[in-house]
Amino acid sequence: MSKMKWIFSLVLRILAFGATVSAAIVMGTSREKANFFSVSFEAKYSDIPSFKYFVVVEAVASLYCFLVMFLPAKSSLWRFIIISDLIFTMLLTSSIAAALAVELNE
């Protein structure tokens, strides 16, 4: 891999790492209170399984992004990394779809 491609890949991985970490932190720490006819409800991410799935996938993807950033440019694992990137993209897409499906059904 040429140096320019490696730098571009590193910048994209840093951006992906920041996005996945921030999404996991925001979702993991969010709480919402609602009042309905003098009954108070508190909702957390851990109340809904698809939100748990979203937080877990985001955390695992951020760990993966962090580890791949330290892979040398001359490594022979880049073909495996491309396949792993595709798998994590599908996992992230499915977690976002599951979280949105819950939001839209309410």
Per-residue model confidence as pLDDT tens digits over 21-70: 998 898 888 777 777 777 776 777 777 888 889 899 999 999 999 988 88
Summarised one tens digit per residue, pLDDT across range 62-96 is 999 998 888 877 778 888 888 998 999 999 999 98
Distance CA 90, CA 106 (A): 25
User: What pLDDT, on the 0 to 100 scale, is given for residue 10?
Assistant: 86
Distance CA 98, CA 56 (A): 13
Q: What is the pTM of this model?
A: 0.78
The first and second tokens of residue 40, run together, are 């108070």
Sign of CA dihedral 31, 35, 40, 46: negative
User: What pLDDT, on the 0 to 100 scale, is given for residue 44?
Assistant: 75
What values do phi and psi take at 65, rounded to 5?
A: -60, -40
User: What pLDDT, on the 0 to 100 scale, is given for residue 48?
Assistant: 80
What values do phi and psi take at 41, rounded to 5?
A: -120, 145
Residue 4 scores a pLDDT above 90:
no
**Sequence ranges of the domains in the chain:** 3-105
